[in-house]
Amino acid sequence: MISLIREPNGFIYMYCHQGFRDNPLKISTKIKVEGNLWDKTTRRPTDKKLVWKGKNVTNELNRLAGLLEDAIAECGRENITSADDIKKKFGDKAKIVYSFGQVVVIDFLKYFENYVDNLKAEGDKNWKFYQTSLNMLKEFFGKKKPSFQMIDMRFYGSFNSHLKSKKLAVNSISNVWKHIKVVMKRSQEVDKLHTNNDYTRFERHREQTDSIYLTLAELDAIFNAELIGHLDKARDYFIVGAFTGLRFADWDRVSASAVKDGVLSLRSQKTNELSHIPIHHYVQKILDKYNGTLPEKPSNQKMNAYVKLVAEKAEINEEVEIRTSQGDERVFEKFKKHKLVTTHTARRSLATNLILKGVSPYVIMKITGHKQLDSFEAYVRLKELNALIELKDLDFFKPPKPLKVKRERKKKEKQAKVD
C-alpha cells in the first residue's frame, strides 16, 4: 500500500512498507502543495482541481502511486529487492529522473524526526516536548537506526531503565512514553508503515505531584502588596487568574467588554468551552485600573519568574515540603512557598479555595473546563480536601466546651457559702 505524506518543505512523498522488511521506502513525487491546501485525512489536496506545473495534482498523485505499485510488483516477480533498482524502474515508468539520495529507507527515528518537523511547521506548541523525547531516543540508540519492529517490549524495558538512570521524574518519563506511543500509532494506523503492536503494551506510570495553592489570605496579601512596574502588572494578571480560574493563555482576554451584569463570559482557546464566571471585586478593580483592557501580557516564562518575586514581596514564606520521584528514588525537599508559585498556581488556587468553601466540584468544573470528575479529583486532590473538611468539622478536633455540670456545682457551692 502506498501512503502519500506532505513533508514540512511542502513536497509530497510516497511511502511504501511492502518488501522492505521493517523500514518503508520513501520516494518524492516532486509535487509541492501548500499546507492549507492539503487534507491530512484523505492525504489528497482539499481542492480536486488544484494544478501544479500544468498538471492536476490529484490525478498526478494517483498516477504516480499506481506506477510505484506496478514497479514494486514487477520487481517482486523478478526477485529484485534493491531500493535503487525499484527507483530506476519507477522512474522509467513515471518519466521522472531521480537523483541519488531521493529514495531512502526510513527508520523509526527518521519518522519521529519528520513528525516533530511537521509539528513545528504547523505551529503546534507541543513540538518542543516531542523534540526532547526524540533527543533522548537518539542518545539511547547512538549510531543505530532502529526499525519499527525494534520498538518492542525488550526496547521498553531497556529504554525505561535508561530514563530512570537519568534521575528523571516519573511524570517526565511518562510523557516520553506518551510521545513514543503517539508516533508509533500514527506510523502504523495512518501511514501503514509497520505491523508492530508491542507499543500498545507500553505502560505509563504517573504520580500525583505536590502542587501548591494559595489561600484566600495569601491572595489578599498579594493583591495589597506595594509593587511597581512589571511586578505590578504581573500581580494584576495573577490575581485575574486566581479569581477566574482561566488558563494562562486566556488571561489577557479578560476585558470589560466580556463582562455583562457582573458575569464574565469567555470561550477557552484550548477547549473552545464557554465559561460564565462571576466577577470578583478584585478582578473588577483591576479592570477599572486599566480602563477595561489589560496591558500587554509577558510570556509564560517571564511571568513564572515574576510571580515568584511577587509572592516573595507579599511575604508568602511558609515552608512547604515537596516530594518528587527521581528514577527509583523518592526525594523530599523543603522550599519557601513563594519559590513554588507559578502561573498555574492561580488556576489551582481558585479550584481549591472553592472546594474548601463547600462548592460542588461539578460547578467548579464549569469554570475550569474539566470534563471528567476523575481528572478534576486528581487536579485538586479532591479526596484529601474532602477528608480535611470532614475532620475539621468533628468535635474530636475542637477545643472542649466547659461542662455544664461543673458550672452548676460551682454555683451551688457559692450559694452555700452565702447561706
94-121 residue pLDDT tens: 765 444 334 445 789 988 998 898 888 7
Cβ–Cβ < 8 Å for 72, 61: no
* Torsion-angle region of 30 (φ positive above 0: left; ψ -120 to 50: alpha; else: beta): left
Give the domains, in start order, of the chain with CATH numbers. 2-104 (no CATH), 108-201 (1.10.150), 216-392 (1.10.443.10)
| Cell numbers given for 189 | 494506523
> 122 with 44: CB under 8 angstroms?
no
Per-residue pLDDT, 29: 87
pLDDT given for residue 390 in this prediction: 56
pLDDT of residue 99: 40
**Cα first-last separation, the chain:** 111
Name which residue leads in pLDDT, 374 or 73: 73
Do the beta carbons of residue 280 and residue 243 sit within 8 Å?
yes
Tell me: pLDDT of 256 over 90: yes
Predicted confidence at residue 100, as pLDDT, reads 35
Tell me the per-residue pLDDT of 283-322, one tens digit each, with 9 for 90 and over.
Answer: 999 999 999 999 999 998 899 999 999 999 999 998 887 7
Residue 233 has pLDDT above 90, yes or no: yes
d(CA 367, CA 83): 56
Cα dihedral across residues 60, 62, 65, 66: positive or negative: negative
pTM for this prediction: 0.54
Cα-Cα-Cα-Cα dihedral sign, residues 168, 172, 178, 183: negative
State the Cα–Cα distance between residues 377 and 359, nearest whole angstrom. 14
What pLDDT score does 334 carry? 84
Digit-coded pLDDT (tens) for 351-389? 888 888 888 878 888 777 777 776 677 666 655 655 555
Q: What is the pLDDT of residue 251?
A: 94
With residues binned 3-state (H G I as helix, E B as strand, rest as coil), the percentages for the chain, rounded to 5, are: 55, 15, 30
What is the spatial distance between Cα 84 and Cα 356, in angstroms, rounded to a whole number? Answer: 69
Average pLDDT, the chain: 84
Using DSSP, state whether 76 is helix, strand or coil. Answer: helix
Cα angle 31, 34, 35 (rounded to 5 degrees) comes to 120
